[in-house]
Chain A
Amino acid sequence: MTVDKKYESKRKVADMFGRVIVFISALLLIIITVSLFLFVTSKGLSTFIKDGISIKEFLFSTTWNPDREVPAVGSLQFIIGSILVSAFAIMISAPLGVSSAIFMVEIEKKLGQKILQPAIEIFVGIPSVVYGWVGLTVLVPFISKHFGGLGFSLLAGILVLTIMTLPTITSVSTDAIRSLPVEIREASYALGATRWQTIRHVVIPAAKSGILTAIILGLARAFGEALAVQMVIGNRPVIPKSFLEPMSTITSIITMDMANTVMGSVWNDALWSLALLLLIISFTFIIIIKLVGRRGMYK
């Protein structure tokens, strides 16, 4: 009886201890997120409040001259650049990624689990500067030689981002498809459906919310990726007129100039506004993921 009690109290202390640690960690996480949001917001808004630049000018004009006597910080071309490069990258990587996920889970299970998936997971771990450097040394000269233009282009950015988002999309949708209950496939086969019909009419619709989540995660990664894109895209502050023309993205302009501008200057403030914009966009993506995830048929 006494031993039991001793054990009981010991367990309670351990329980308490664990709970406190978990609570502190969670609290810390919330504090960090909130303060980050507050910091970026307050820095980002000072362009409009302190420097008196209108939101309309910032969002809808394309004159980017933050270093001149009368600074102009129109960023429409960066916003459009970011949208173009990530949208096109996702258009290529989403079908590829989802197809390879289906291939790995439904068609070649052994090959998929033993070779393909580990290989894809390695790709997730490669630092983005490596993608950027390979893009700069291999892709850019290749494009310039075979397609024309300078090589530094929207196309180079799209291709680099396609390769970078592919593993994210593939591995998340693989998990989504794999986690479907095996009964729904069996039921489908029992009704006499072929494998193709099962994949087309049962597996994909059932995993739809997981696959959509994968694609949005990929899109978020593409939107936020800075270094690799910055190295191959040419960073010309204009809206590109063709796939072979250089352009800029929100992230590339932030990483290029943030370190060399002095805090509190209009230039620096404008970069923070871009950062705020990026934060708002990625929050939107996360909300979309939550909404999509809620609609899932199978859990």
Chain B
Amino acid sequence: MLNSRFAKVAIAVLLIASFFTFAACGSKQPQSADSGNLSGNITIAGSTALQPLAEQAARMFMEKYPNVAITVQGGGSGTGLTQVVQGAIDIGNSDIFAEEKLDANTAKSLVDHKVAVAGFAVVVNKDVTVDNLTQQQLIDIFTGKITNWKDVGGPDMKIVIINRPASSGTRATFKKVVLKGQEEAQGFALTEDSSGAVKKAVADTKGAISYLALSYVDDTVKALKYEGVEPTAQNIIDGKYPIWSYEHMYTKGEPTGAAKAFLDFMMSDEVQKGPLTKLGFIPVTEMKTK
């Protein structure tokens, strides 16, 4: 009784498995004509900001080269860098330069591929009437020297800082570019982990200020001008607006084979002008500054 049931289950499993195998073969056959001889597995992990882009590019790439299998995972920039150093993955995504997280020697073993640019805007709650802040004003606000909006020409309202976690790439960029590396006041700001939660918190909290990737900015919050310059993709490309950072894909040593082909594909117009722009990134190929 038990054995025959076991046999039935085994047969069913085999049938299902073989069905999927055949189905997979079937779908592969017609496209493989133009695929050349590129094949292999690529594993990608790291930055959650870069994850949607990596996923879309991987899908497009696998359609072109059906013999290549790409796995894309998140995990955060730290995970991406750690795992690519250990050789556990082929490509590690990171929001910031490896040198800023790893020690100099380890960072040297990695090759940096700058695939996209992410722009950031300083955003405030809608009832803050300020439209523009200078770098010095932002430094004073985030280091706790200015605590009321009236000191920068706004209403008499307490400033509520909403930070990203200290480990986040966005915050690192903001600290480096805007705060010139100065330490923020301790035990003072609120922290929200994700860009979505930051946006929600800024929209709901009176007098709130934070920073968000341009792709997250919508009309629930107010994006400020920085030194009189509006945060737009064009201003970043032209080098007028400085709050942006590279999105990196790191490989251990120079990439070869499928990984190299994929990284080249990331730089092609097909990705740079396609999903990359659509997801709110700025094509790295168009940048006119550094």
**Which A residues are closer than 8 A to B by beta carbons?**
10, 13-14, 17, 63, 65-68, 136-137, 140-141, 144, 150-152, 230-231, 234-238, 246, 248, 255-265, 267-268
Pick from A66, A238, A259: contact of B166, CB under 8 Å = A66
Q: Which residues, 201 to 218 on B, are CB-close (under 8 Å) to A?
A: 201, 204-206
Q: Are B191 and A236 in contact (CB under 8 A)?
A: yes
Q: Are A230 and B193 in contact (CB under 8 A)?
A: yes
Most A CB contacts (10 A, CB to CB) among B74, B197, B204 go to B204
A264 to B, closest residue via Cβ: B82
Q: Are A65 and B186 in contact (CB under 8 A)?
A: yes
B189 contacts the other chain (Cβ, under 8 Å)?
Answer: yes
Q: Are A236 and B201 in contact (CB under 8 A)?
A: no
* Given A234-B190, A262-B81, A262-B102; A257-B3 close (CB under 8 Å): no
**Which B residues are closer than 8 A to A by beta carbons?**
2-3, 48, 74-79, 81-82, 101-102, 160, 165-169, 183, 186-193, 197, 200-201, 204-206
Q: Are A263 and B82 in contact (CB under 8 A)?
A: yes
Min CB gap B171→A, angstroms: 9
Pick from B75, B183, B201: contact of A68, CB under 8 Å = B183
The 9 closest A-B pairs by CB, nearest first: A259-B76, A260-B167, A235-B191, A238-B187, A256-B165, A257-B167, A263-B82, A234-B190, A261-B78
Residues of B within 8 A of A152 (CB): 190, 201, 205
Q: Are B166 and A231 in contact (CB under 8 A)?
A: no
Q: Are A259 and B186 in contact (CB under 8 A)?
A: no
Q: Known contacts A234-B190, A260-B76; can you find 16 more A-B pairs with CB under 8 A?
A: A10-B3, A136-B200, A150-B205, A234-B191, A235-B190, A237-B187, A246-B190, A256-B167, A256-B191, A259-B74, A259-B76, A259-B79, A260-B77, A262-B82, A263-B78, A263-B82
CA distance A264 to B79 in the complex (A): 11
CA distance A256 to B198 in the complex (A): 13
